[in-house]
């Protein structure tokens, strides 16, 4: 599997990483703890090292699952987790409510110091490989946030610094105060906004690009049964991208790609994940999984190489069928 290095940190990982948002349960229609733990271990077995999580995924639940799954195998994993979404303070700005708790965006120095200690306990580790500001906080100067992150790096509690959900001016502000090893942004065949400014800026400064929602919350994993219903708090139930009309467009899209998929001997999800990192915009495609089968299928995409001609087939099918889903 192709490997990359996270900025100047020296930390290596594969082109496919495991995302754990759905493992937290919130906004995904519940959770299966045993399936989550097995998915994490199956990812390691399949050669995936980067495990991406966050405190906000189930108010610490996903981090606890990662910590349990990595018992005895911590040395095999690159753990990425985040800070800046907090539910123990009213400082910063209110972002959303989760499980009845108001969650705020806040990246103040003392708050980051407290968050990292809580994450270390949940993850059952003495260090975090990549520590990422989850969402940006307009009430705290970037200089203060970076000062806290650099202090944690000097203390050995984190090894690398990342930022997520940023625009180009905000990333430039971070870079003025210290090295940033990675950004994490939404990126898929349907979501390519970062190509315009953020990706060129990262290339110029040696910042790795991690793309989350590589399969657009499962929309690009393969044809969706028109009869399927998303229930409970599953965010896809109200997402217009999952409308009956869009599902029909996806059926046509996948039908057009079927010959290419068959010639490569891969699944549709593997094909679209491979497009993501082989297209050149991102270094790592983060893919969610809730059971070992999904994790193993996603990992196999890291061994799939696409030619320019094969990427062109996918791009052409996107233009014909999916532009309305953007």
First vs last C-alpha separation in the chain: 30
Taking the domains of the chain in order of start, what are their residue ranges? Answer: 10-221+279-305
β partners of residue 17:
286
- Say what angle helices 168-177 and 142-155 make with each other, to 10 degrees: 50
Nearest to 49 by CA among 2, 7, 116: 2
What is the model's pLDDT at position 326? 57
What is the model's pLDDT at position 310? 97
- So which residues are the catalytic ones? 57
Strands (E), 91-207: 93-98, 101-105, 128-133, 158-164, 182-186
Please tell me the distance from the alpha carbon of residue 47 to that of residue 300, in angstroms, as a whole number: 9
Max Cα–Cα distance, the chain, nearest Å: 55
Please tell me the distance from the alpha carbon of residue 300 to that of residue 283, in angstroms, as a whole number: 16
Radius of gyration over every alpha carbon of the chain, rounded to an integer in angstroms:
19
pLDDT one digit per residue (tens) for the chain, 326 residues: 889 999 999 999 999 999 999 887 666 666 789 999 999 999 999 999 999 999 999 999 999 999 999 999 999 999 999 999 999 988 999 999 988 899 999 999 999 999 999 999 999 999 999 999 999 999 999 999 999 999 999 999 999 999 999 999 999 999 999 999 999 999 999 999 999 999 999 999 999 999 999 999 888 988 877 667 766 667 676 778 888 888 888 999 999 999 999 999 999 999 999 999 988 999 999 999 989 999 999 999 999 999 999 999 999 999 999 987 75
Q: Whole-prediction pTM value?
A: 0.94
Do residues 296 and 220 make contact, with C-beta atoms less than 8 angstroms apart?
no
What is the model's pLDDT at position 136? 98
310's tokens: 């094969």
What is the model's pLDDT at position 235? 65
What is the model's pLDDT at position 207? 98
Burial class (CB in 10 A: 0-12, 13-18, 19+), 104: buried
Do residues 153 and 130 make contact, with C-beta atoms less than 8 angstroms apart?
no
Strands (E), the chain: 3-5, 12-14, 16-19, 50-52, 78-83, 85-86, 93-98, 101-105, 128-133, 158-164, 182-186, 208-212, 284-288
Would you say the C-alpha torsion 92, 96, 98, 102 has a positive or negative sign?
A: positive
Q: Which CATH architecture has domain 10-221+279-305?
A: Alpha-Beta Barrel (3.20)
What is the model's pLDDT at position 144? 98
47's tokens: 């050669």
């Amino acid at each position: 599997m192709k490997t990359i290095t996270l900025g100047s940190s020296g930390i290596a990982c594969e082109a496919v990483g495991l995302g754990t948002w759905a493992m937290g349960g919130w906004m995904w229609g519940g959770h299966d703890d045993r399936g989550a733990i097995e998915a994490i271990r199956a990812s390691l077995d399949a050669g995936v090292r980067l495990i991406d999580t966050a405190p906000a995924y189930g108010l610490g639940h996903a981090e606890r699952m990662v910590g349990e799954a990595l018992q005895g195998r911590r040395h095999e994993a690159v753990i990425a987790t985040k800070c800046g979404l907090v539910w123990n303070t009213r400082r910063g700005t209110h972002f959303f409510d989760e499980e009845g708790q108001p969650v705020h965006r806040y990246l103040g120095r003392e708050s980051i110091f407290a968050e990292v200690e809580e994450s270390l306990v949940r993850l059952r580790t003495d260090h975090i490989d990549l520590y990422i500001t989850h969402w940006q906080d307009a009430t705290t100067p970037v200089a203060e946030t970076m000062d806290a992150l650099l202090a944690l790096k000097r203390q050995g509690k984190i090894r690398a610094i990342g930022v997520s959900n940023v625009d180009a001016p905000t990333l430039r502000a971070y870079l003025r105060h210290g090295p940033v090893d990675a950004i994490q942004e939404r990126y898929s065949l349907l979501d390519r906004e970062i190509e315009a400014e953020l990706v060129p800026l990262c290339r110029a400064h040696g910042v790795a690009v991690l793309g989350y929602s590589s399969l657009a919350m499962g929309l690009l994993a393969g044809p969706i049964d028109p009869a399927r219903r998303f229930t409970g708090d599953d965010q896809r139930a109200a997402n217009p991208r999952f409308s009956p009309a869009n599902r029909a467009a996806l059926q046509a899209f996948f039908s057009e790609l079927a010959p290419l998929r068959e010639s490569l001997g891969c699944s549709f999800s593997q094909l679209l994940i491979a497009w993501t990192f082989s297209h050149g915009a991102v270094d790592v495609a983060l893919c969610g999984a809730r059971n070992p089968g999904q994790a193993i299928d996603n990992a196999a995409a890291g061994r799939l190489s696409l030619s320019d001609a094969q990427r062109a087939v996918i791009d052409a099918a996107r233009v014909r069928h999916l532009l309305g889903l953007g």
